Amino acid sequence: MTFASLGLSEPILLAIGEQGYSTPTPIQAQAIPAVLAGGDLLAAAQTGTGKTAAFTLPLLHRLSDAQPARNARGQVIPRVLVLVPTRELAAQVAENVRDYGKHLKLRSMVMYGGVGMQPQIDALRRGVDIVVATPGRMLDHHGQRTLDLSAIDTLVLDEADRMLDMGFIHDIRKVLALLPRKRQNLLFSATFSDEIKALANTLLNQPKVIEVARRNTAATTVRQTVHPVGRDRKRELLAHLIRERNWWQVLVFMRTKHGANRLAEQLRGEGIGADAIHGNKSQGARTRALAEFKSGKLQVLVATDIAARGIDIDQLPLVVNYELPNVPEDYVHRIGRTGRAGAEGEAISLVCVDELRFLRDIENLIGRGIDRNLVAGFEPDPQERAQPIRVGRTVIGGGRAGSGPRRADAPRGQGGHGRGDAAGGHHGHNGHAGQGRRNDSQPRRDGGRGASRGAAPARRNGTTG
């Protein structure tokens, strides 16, 4: 099957070619004709399946086929509204819209909270066909009468399950009430909880249902290994592996910006070409580092989870978790950076005793154990005991089982008593079950409900709009 056979127009096919895609992914093959036909859609698809292009490509086609919508003053007003749960996803989707629509005359914009309203208002004034937004900021604009929704003929809810997890259901219902009744609705969700089904029932009209094989990118296509190692020997081990195995284009993940900076510096100190990207770096510095990394000039790129969300690189050979994420879903996102679209990938995690609880949560989430592999000369000391881990201002773990996260400014415990779980050991303990692991200080919008996806409804810092 080709993209051309799906009926997409030349400028879109050209852009797809420039992205390097040759064949539609399964969700694209099914969704593109359905969206072009104009009906509603209910799609079960996870990140990594090509779901963004699955709705973006046909919507661009349809928009460019028709005349722009204008208000009484002649301004172009949006016809497509894409709602997403987080800023990062909003930025990513908007970037895809720009990439795929680069040979079309359509205008798009991204709208999320935490940044000034004015640039968004200016963009709306200049005229926009497609808005990609988080619900809160979108409602703010509507409330201030800066956003005209009267011409919206297509609504996309992307990662709807995450939106519900994050407590956006009321916002979504408010938005629905503001939109013209006659419209096309596309709902994308990785999971189908009762809540999603209820939403689908009220939102969708005789939808086509598409379910692509649950491409559990993490569990199936990526080779995963854990190298147990002592807490203080990770850097040495990483440098050893990079040299020994001649690694290039390695994306290394850290939990914190500070850690990312320090590691990149230390690697440079050892003569390994490394740079860090994270939220505190200027856009210019990030773009430069990324370009060097993509072109193969930069050997190692050290990134935080949030910074990495914006990176769109296909088929990285290798992802290294220098630190395991405390939010297990982040592990899946991280390793989804390698082995994309069917290519083989490898994910290696350097795990010390402090992180075994994170490892167990990850294994629970992906539904299987990850192979342990000791590297000769770097075996962890079986006597080493778990210590608390700091994530921003929160401290996780340590000796007080069941205590959950603590603020770093609270007195620290002695750490590690009674856990007795050395890094080489087996998993399966569940002594920490039910502990909160939130690393942000914002109240959850759903008051703690909505843990419908099992392990961790925890969200990361400031990602909601």
Where along the sequence are the contacts to ligand AMP (CB under 6 A)? Answer: 21, 23-25, 28, 47-53, 312, 314, 340-341
* Tokens read off for 276: 């860090």
3-state helix, strand, coil in the chain (%, to 5): 35, 15, 45
* Tokens read off for 247: 């690694």
* Nearest distance from C-beta of residue 36 to ligand AMP, angstroms: 16
Which CB atom, from 340 or from 390, has the smaller least distance to ligand AMP?
Answer: 340
* Nearest distance from C-beta of residue 209 to ligand AMP, angstroms: 18
* Nearest distance from C-beta of residue 341 to ligand AMP, angstroms: 4
The distance from CA 310 to its chain's CA centroid, rounded to whole angstroms, is 8
Instruction: Please report which residue ranges of 206-355 form alpha helices under DSSP H.
Output: 217-220, 234-244, 257-269, 283-295, 305-309, 328-335
* Nearest distance from C-beta of residue 21 to ligand AMP, angstroms: 4
* Nearest distance from C-beta of residue 362 to ligand AMP, angstroms: 20
Rg of the chain in Å (alpha carbons) = 23
Which CB atom, from 25 or from 464, has the smaller least distance to ligand AMP?
Answer: 25
Which CB atom, from 28 or from 154, has the smaller least distance to ligand AMP?
Answer: 28
CA distances from 279 to 225, 302, 309, 310 (A): 28, 12, 11, 11
Q: Are 100 and 60 in contact (CB under 8 A)?
A: yes
* Nearest distance from C-beta of residue 16 to ligand AMP, angstroms: 7
Beta strand 41-44 with 345-351: parallel, antiparallel or unpaired? unpaired
Classified as helix, coil or strand, 459 is coil
* Nearest distance from C-beta of residue 327 to ligand AMP, angstroms: 18
Classified as helix, coil or strand, 21 is coil
Which CB atom, from 48 or from 398, has the smaller least distance to ligand AMP?
Answer: 48
Q: Are 125 and 74 in contact (CB under 8 A)?
A: no
Q: Are 398 and 387 in contact (CB under 8 A)?
A: yes
Q: State phi, psi for 334 to the nearest 5 degrees.
A: -60, -55
Which CB atom, from 312 or from 384, has the smaller least distance to ligand AMP?
Answer: 312
Which CB atom, from 24 or from 450, has the smaller least distance to ligand AMP?
Answer: 24
* Calpha distance 284→377 (Å, rounded): 40
Burial of residue 177, with CB atoms counted within 10 A of its CB: 0-12 exposed, 13-18 middle, 19 or more buried: exposed
Which CB atom, from 50 or from 228, has the smaller least distance to ligand AMP?
Answer: 50
* Nearest distance from C-beta of residue 363 to ligand AMP, angstroms: 23
Which CB atom, from 75 or from 315, has the smaller least distance to ligand AMP?
Answer: 315
Which CB atom, from 188 or from 358, has the smaller least distance to ligand AMP?
Answer: 188
Q: What b/e readout covers 185-195, taking b as 16+ CB neighbours within 10 angstroms?
A: bbbbbbbbbeb
* Nearest distance from C-beta of residue 185 to ligand AMP, angstroms: 19
Q: Are 223 and 346 in contact (CB under 8 A)?
A: yes
* Nearest distance from C-beta of residue 22 to ligand AMP, angstroms: 7
* Nearest distance from C-beta of residue 156 to ligand AMP, angstroms: 12
* Calpha distance 64→46 (Å, rounded): 27
Which CB atom, from 36 or from 401, has the smaller least distance to ligand AMP?
Answer: 36
Q: Are 252 and 303 in contact (CB under 8 A)?
A: yes
Find tokens 């210590």 and name the residue.
387
Which CB atom, from 69 or from 93, has the smaller least distance to ligand AMP?
Answer: 93
Q: What one-character-per-residue DSSP string does 302-345 give?
A: EEEHHHHHT-----BSEEEESS--SSHHHHHHHHTTBSGGG--E
